Amino acid sequence: MAVVPASLSGQDVGSFAYLTIKDRIPQILTKVIDTLHRHKSEFFEKHGEEGVEAEKKAISLLSKLRNELQTDKPIIPLVEKFVDTDIWNQYLEYQQSLLNESDGKSRWFYSPWLFVECYMYRRIHEAIIQSPPIDYFDVFKESKEQNFYESQESVIALCTHLQQLIKTIEDLDENQLKDEFFKLLQISLWGNKCDLSVSGGESSSQKTDVLNSLEDLKPFILLNDMEHLWSLLSNCKKTREKGCFCHHYNKLVLINSHSPFPHP
């Protein structure tokens, strides 16, 4: 049995993991801090000085988080009691148990990058919920809405295609169905280009019809197992249909068990 490779981490200089910890996550945190600062007047209008103090507290917690990351400090447990706090802290203990470090502490550049990135978002959430009365505030709302509105042309084109596909899908032959399936897989794949996390919070809206770009984007797919996936699904469908036939046949035999005719 093949050994599962070690998780990528920020210690792999030049890797996506390294660039995530070194550049992308600090950039996201900086944008979050800037967003809070820009809404200072709104917090004052809604909550008075209490809102301003809450904004300062949230920014202080996030600035501390950014410093911990950039100086590769140990990853610390969550402190705000929330529904998932214990689960997160238990997983942190698990990550620490896998380390060979002398102090037994998980660190930003030496822990699995996916865990580190998710933990960063959870700490952002913690900073906000620790800062009432602005604990309702979504620091990513503006960027999400902007990207959505800027992507409307592509969204409408995709929805129109899907509506048409739903109307005609029963009339498609095997090859046409396969072609449409491959299109949807690729649309799902390239949808990751719009991930605000991947872009570090920079605008990453889809401003063109992705359906018209699929052929041009194919050479950039590093590993393409779509044909194999289609084969697996086709075999599953055939097996299921055969199973359903056998199931119904057996019911028929059972119902007619008193028939004078012999069963095959």
Residue 251 lies in a domain: no
11 found inside a domain: no
Which band of pLDDT confidence, cut at 50, 70 and 90, is reported for residue 118? very high
Pair 112, 145 in one domain: no
In a domain, 154, yes or no: yes
- Give dist(CA 62, CA 32) in Å, integer: 8
- The whole domain housing 193 covers 140-238
Choose the final residue of a domain: 101, 130, 159.
Answer: 130
Residue 9 lies in a domain: no
CA-derived radius of gyration, the chain: 26
Q: How does pLDDT run across 196-253, given as a tens digit for each residue?
A: 666 455 554 566 677 888 999 999 998 899 999 999 998 888 887 666 544 544 443 3
Same domain? For 100 and 121 the reply is yes
- Would the pLDDT of 181 be above 90? yes
CATH number, position 68: 1.20.930.60
- Please report which confidence band the pLDDT of residue 74 belongs to, taking 50, 70 and 90 as the band edges: very high
Number of domains in the chain: 2
β-bridge partners, 63: none
**Is 211 within a domain?**
yes
Residues 41 and 110 in one domain: yes
Q: Rounded distance, CA 27 to CA 200, Å?
A: 6
Residue at which a domain ends, from 130, 150, 175: 130
My answer on whether 41 and 74 are in the same domain is yes
Q: Are residues 85 and 20 in the same domain?
A: yes
- pLDDT confidence bin for 261, thresholds 50/70/90: very low
For 10-24, write each residue's pLDDT tens digit.
998 999 899 999 999
Could you tell me if 59 and 103 are in contact, meaning their C-beta atoms sit under 8 angstroms apart? no
CA distance 180 to 97: 46
